[in-house]
Structure 1
Amino acid sequence: MAQETLPDSPAAPEAAGAAVRPGRRDRVSGALRTAGRAGWTRTLAAVAAGLIMWLAFPPIDWWPLTPVGVAVFTLALRGLRPRTACWVGFVAGAAFFLPVLTGIAKIGPDGWIILSLVQALYFIPLGAGVAVVTRLPGWPVWTAALWVGEEMLRGHVPFGGFPWARLAFSQTATPLTHYASVGGAPLVTFLTALIGGMLAYGAAAVLQRGEDADQPAKALVRPLAIMLGGLVAVVGAGIAIPAPTAGRPITVAVVQGNVPRLGLDFLGQRKAVLDNHVKETHKLAEEIRAGKVARPQLVIWPENASDLDPYAEPDAYTAIDGAVRDIGVPVLVGALVDTPDGKHVENRGIVWDPRTGPGNYYVKRHPVPFGEYLPFREILTKLIKRFDRIPRDFAKGKRSGVMRLGPVNIGDVICFEVAYDKEVRDVAKGDIMVVQTNNATYGKTSLPPQQIAMSRLRAVEHGRTVLVAATSGISAIVAPDGRMIYRSKEFVPDVAVASVPARTSTTLADRLGAGPDWALTLLGVAAIGAAVWTARRKNEGK
């Protein structure tokens, strides 16, 4: 498509009529009118806000920029009508999600753009809400609560939601991290947005002073004091929260076998992937016999370590069983297994014992829509040929992944389930948490380091060691306080052995469950209601 020119003068559309297709002119001019009502300064500020927040996420990881981006976003919306604020919110969302989700482009630029813009739609009600509640006293609190509400909605609707790139996931090694053990990811998001709101509060006071020359300079003292006092209180309290470290020492091993080559077609080389993990496990067994490394008490293989069904493929069964017997300890094996009816596939984490073979298992409860199963299959396969690569839907598991593996109970989640509060909270009842993942398709993009960031926050949130096993990386071992004990490189075979604490005590976040999420979301909704009611009372009094 030829690039379209969009001159500003009223007569320009006729002059550029050949460039603007019939039927599109009204939509283009409508978008321009909306941007004009918002003010180009605010629209550009919204773009800046999204880009600033993106820089705070891995792999760039400039985490202090998250509240700065929130502050710019808030200032861009404050004083707007809700309808106009919808546009500004969407622009900020698009500017944020398009760069933060660039890894999705590996499966197709269309999928990346569509998913990013769908996620940006959630910033429409957020933008309108922020514009409304900033009319109330104490508005930094109410705007922060709305961020929690936006993330809660985005994490549940539709198809189970997509809670990637939450504000909390940019704060995995910061003064706010340990708040996760108090109120989970929702509280970390709330406080991150609250700091941004307080920055906006102070900046708004400075801007108002600049516009009103008659206002005395001392009028700035109170708002700036509130801003600084709030920042010190939030950051100081976060630093003071104790981090869990003690626990029963358990020696663990994480195996990263690697894949033959990059790209989607690596799944067609299923035997090579399995052989890589078998080979690395035999190598580890040799090093143990030679006294080079300590003998682990359990071993973790990643998701898709075997895309050959070990229950149906004798060669796969023999290869896995031989490696497990050689290492002599239970191994959690990631494998794809056909359902009895042959119509679906199960993504399993299988407890494989060196004496008794495969036993208990966990089936992934949250398969990826449009990746592991197809909503509206009959329609979409006719429209998009790429979906032929998903010939069968993945079945959904029915129970949590808490299982016995050697001397401990582990809590297993598979791949992007680590982004979901409920799925992770369910398995935090284990002594050690495990994330089995396959990032080969998205290797060397922003997605693997973002997933590691989520795992770090989950470790603190639930006070558990987290073992991340990835086929091609990034594999990791995370301490209960969020420290990185081990982190692999991508697309290399690697094995890590470490002694880690196994813990049974619960955090306050465990005991509160989804309470903080609901309470903060309802707080934001209540603030919108109060702002609307107050505005109506004022209008009635005129």
Structure 2
Amino acid sequence: MRRLLVSLLAGGLLCFAFPTFDVWVAAPLALGLWSWAWSGAGARRGFGLGFGGGLVFFVPTLSWSGIYVGAVPWVALATLESLFLGLAGSLVGWLCRDGRVRPLAFALVWVVTEGFRARAPYGGFPWLKIAFGQADSPFGRLVALGGAPFVGFVVALAGALLALAVHRALASRPHPSRVPSRTVTLPVAAAVVLGLAGLAVPLPTDGPTAQFLGVQGNVARPGLDFNAERRQVLDNHVAATLRAQQDVTAGRAPAPDLVVWPENASDIDPLRNADAKALILQTVEALQRPLIVGGLLEEPVGFVSNVALLFEPGKGNTDRYVKRHPVPFAEYIPNRSFWRSFSKEVDLVRNDFVPGPAAGVFRVSTPSGQSIRAGLAICFEVAYDDIMRDAVQTGANVLVVQTNNATFGFTAESPQQLAISRLRAIEFGRSVVHVSTVGQSALITPDGTAHQVTSLFTQAVVRGALPLRDATTPATRVGEAPEWVAAAALLAMLALGVRRGRPEQRPVRHTTKEEDDDDAA
């Protein structure tokens, strides 16, 4: 019962590491509690402990997913994600079945199960990775070295080291002479060093600059029918853009080099609807600068494409990016006939969205001769490591994240997404133009600082100069290598555990100094 209570407590504590609480230190503390609770539990009990703790964490932090569609999808998603924490608990429980806290084993399990969760099923759901709550912490700066998996590893390792220190201290209470103080202080010191190591990682923000304008046009109403008046949404973005241009004409603001509209700014197909296309072209001519439009295309036949379209003055639509990772059960129904047997609600998605073929980078030149290479991501794509990395490796010197948060109301979804964009800025050393239909929108510099953060469900613009950078961070170069190294190390550890066999059941006793020296292995 004590283990269960600790595991549930850890799940609740981890909620505070993410927006809108933003208490980043809650993450290593929560993971430390989990490493203590799962160690010695065995595989079966470990699964239950991890699954229970996962529910306490995921149910509240993913509550935005059911704000308008009801509890069933929300609880189903939270339950699915909790299964991965159940797997983590099972692996840790088996690897540490003798009751010792093994920080390295726990950290490896954490990285591997987070990576698994980010890929399965149907492409995975990496939202709420530990790294995504660390944009303001020293841990977060480590993302520039090895990406989000490396941050997760270090946070998990630091938390488990603290748990090891507590485990040793409790074991030594009846016989303090058996456990020298250094066996307690050394893990604490190592955890502190890991927690502060990120401060040594430089986050440069120098480089030539370009002027960006992000337009948050707002919608008629929040909810699933946000685009019931699709023409009004388009009109809102046109009006807000032209109003911003008036400030340029009057000399109150600098002229933008690139203007960005968010996802779903034009749900009327702007390539097939003459009125929508005319409005966009008129806006581009008034700006005399390139405009990125988030829209929906009625193609290919029988399907829909979620796209970013580049419009240039005098040229019209010159480039497009099709969202590579449509959201399962929201933008398409996988295995439709199978899931229809459970609920006919799947047919509310009448036309499936199709995935795009490749990374998107829009290239435009500024009047001063600078080259803007904008790497594209649409909505939840910002949470996928490979999609963001592909854009940078394709040549992006700035990142553009277009999103629509209208279907999540006044919830933590928007701040959670903005936090991910901030971490991506640090990871790749790139500025980020994060633009939402309804907020939050912001301009983010390569050190992860968000500027001009807008309020939800207001019409607003974000404008200013952002550095264009070509330098490549170590995280960009190593790619998925940290995850594969962790997976290989964990497999080796599991193989050794199988070879050694299950240890004999012995009465609980206090550890010796020699055993304590092996705990961190």
**TM-score between both structures, scaled by the size of structure 1:** 0.89
Q: CA deviation digits over 1:43-83, x for unaligned, max 9? A: 11111111111111111111101111111111111111211
Aligned to 1:480: 446
Q: Is the 8 A contact 1:143 1:524 kept in 2?
A: no
Taking structure 1 as reference, are residues 291 and 372 closer, same or farther at Cα in structure 2, changes over 3 Å only?
Answer: same
Give the CA deviation at 1:337: 0.3
Q: Which residue of 2 aligns with 1:171?
A: 134
Across the aligned residues of Structure 1 and Structure 2, the Cα RMSD in angstroms comes to 1.6
Alpha-carbon distance between aligned partners in 1 of 2:166 and 2:501, rounded to the nearest angstrom: 24
Q: Aligned to 2:420, what secondary structure does the other structure show?
A: helix
Given the alignment of the two structures, is residue 122 of structure 1 paired with residue 84 of structure 2, yes or no? yes
Match of 2:181 among 178, 197, 221: 221
Note the C-alpha offset of 1:413: 0.6
- Match in the other structure for 1:100: 61
**Which secondary structure does the structure 2 equivalent of 1:490 belong to?**
coil
Question: Corresponding residue for 1:519?
Answer: 485
Q: 2:391 aligns with which of 403, 424, 427?
A: 427
1:229 shift after superposition: 2.1
- Tell whether the 8 Å contact from 2:158 to 2:195 is kept in structure 1 after alignment: no
Measure, in 1, the Cα distance between the counterparts of 2:142 and 2:300. 45
The aligned amino acid for 1:223 is T
Q: Per-residue deviation at 1:110?
A: 0.5
Cross-structure match for 2:282: 322
Alignment partner of 2:316 out of 357, 371, 383 = 357
User: Letter of the aligned partner of 2:317 in structure 1?
Assistant: P
Q: Distance in 1 between matches of 2:408 and 2:305?
A: 21
Which residue does 1:24 correspond to in 2?
none
Are the aligned partners of 2:258 and 2:289 in contact in 1 as well (CA < 8 Å)?
yes
Q: Does residue 1:111 correspond to 2:73, yes or no?
A: yes
Give structure 1 stretches of 5+ with no counterpart: 1-39
In structure 2, runs of 5+ residues without a counterpart are 366-370, 506-521
Match of 1:533 among 481, 492, 499: 499
- How far does residue 456 in structure 1 lie from its aligned partner after superposition? 0.8
Partner residue in 2 for 1:368? 327
TM-superposed CA distance for 1:130, in Å, is 1.1
- AA at the equivalent of 2:192: V
1:248 deviation in Å?
1.1
Query: 1:334-483 counterparts in 2 under 5 A?
Result: 334-341=294-301, 343-381=302-340, 383-406=342-365, 407-428=371-392, 429-483=395-449
Residue in structure 2 matching 1:81, options 42, 49, 53: 42
| 1:312-333, Cα deviation, whole Å (9 max, x unpaired) | 1001001111111111100110
Asked if 2 retains the 8 angstrom alpha-carbon contact of 1:332 and 1:405, the reply is: no
Q: State the one-letter code of the partner of 1:156.
A: R
Distance in 2 between the 1:371 and 1:57 partners? 24
Aligned to 1:239: 199
Identify the residue that residue 466 of structure 2 maps to in structure 1. 500
Does structure 1 retain, via aligned residues, the 8 Å contact 2:101–2:167? no
Q: Do 2:159 and 2:191's aligned partners in 1 also have CA atoms closer than 8 Å?
A: no
- Partner of 1:355: helix, strand, or coil? coil
Amino acid at match of 1:411: G
Deviation at 1:93, TM superposition (A): 1.0
Contact in 1 for aligned 2:45/2:93 (Cα 8 Å): no
Residue by residue over 1:417-438, the C-alpha shift from the partner in whole angstroms, topping out at 9 and shown as x without a partner, is 0111100100123010011101
2:122 is matched with 159
Residues of 2 paired with 1:232 and 1:94: CA distance? 29
Following the alignment from structure 1 to structure 2, what is the Cα–Cα distance between the partners of residues 411 and 432? 6
Contact 1:53 1:96 (C-alpha < 8 Å) held by counterparts: yes
**Superimposed CA distance per residue, residues 449-468 of structure 1 (whole angstroms, 9 cap, x where no aligned partner):** 11111111110000000111
1:351–1:405 CA contact under 8 A, matched in 2:
no
The letter for the 2-side match of 1:162 is F
Which residue, out of 159, 164, 171, partners 1:201?
164
Corresponding residue SS for 1:122:
helix
Q: Percent of aligned positions with the same letter in both sequences? A: 37
1:281 aligned to which of 241, 252, 257: 241
What displacement does 1:505 show? 1.0
SS of aligned partner of 1:264: coil
Determine helix, strand or coil for the equivalent of 1:267. Answer: coil
Query: Which whole-Å CA distance do the structure 2 matches of 1:220 and 1:72 have between them?
Result: 23
Aligned residue pairs, count: 496
CA distance in 2, matches of 1:482, 1:196: 24
Residue number in structure 2 paired with 1:7: none
For residues 252 and 512 of structure 1, the distance between their equivalents in structure 2, rounded to whole angstroms, comes to 30
CA distance in 2 between counterparts of 1:384 and 1:69 reads 37
Structure 1 contact 205–220 (Cα < 8 Å) conserved: no
Deviation, 1:524, is: 2.4
Correspondence for 1:146: 109
Q: Deviation at 1:89?
A: 1.1
Specify which of 61, 75, 94 is matched with residue 22 of structure 2.
61
Name the CA distance, whole Å, in 2 between partners of 1:383 and 1:353: 47
What does the per-residue CA deviation read over 1:9-38, in whole Å, with 9 as the maximum and x for residues that have no partner?
xxxxxxxxxxxxxxxxxxxxxxxxxxxxxx
Range 307-316 or range 522-531, more displaced: 522-531
Amino acid at match of 1:195: A
In structure 2, what is the Cα distance between the partners aligned to 1:318 and 1:266?
23
Inter-partner Cα distance in structure 2 for 1:298 and 1:91: 48
Structure 2 distance, partners of 1:85, 1:297, is 55
Q: Secondary structure at the match of 1:336?
A: strand
1:21 aligns with none
SS, match of residue 433 in structure 1: strand
Q: CA deviation at 1:379?
A: 4.5
Structure 2 CA distance for partners of 1:331 and 1:158, relative to 1, 3 Å: same
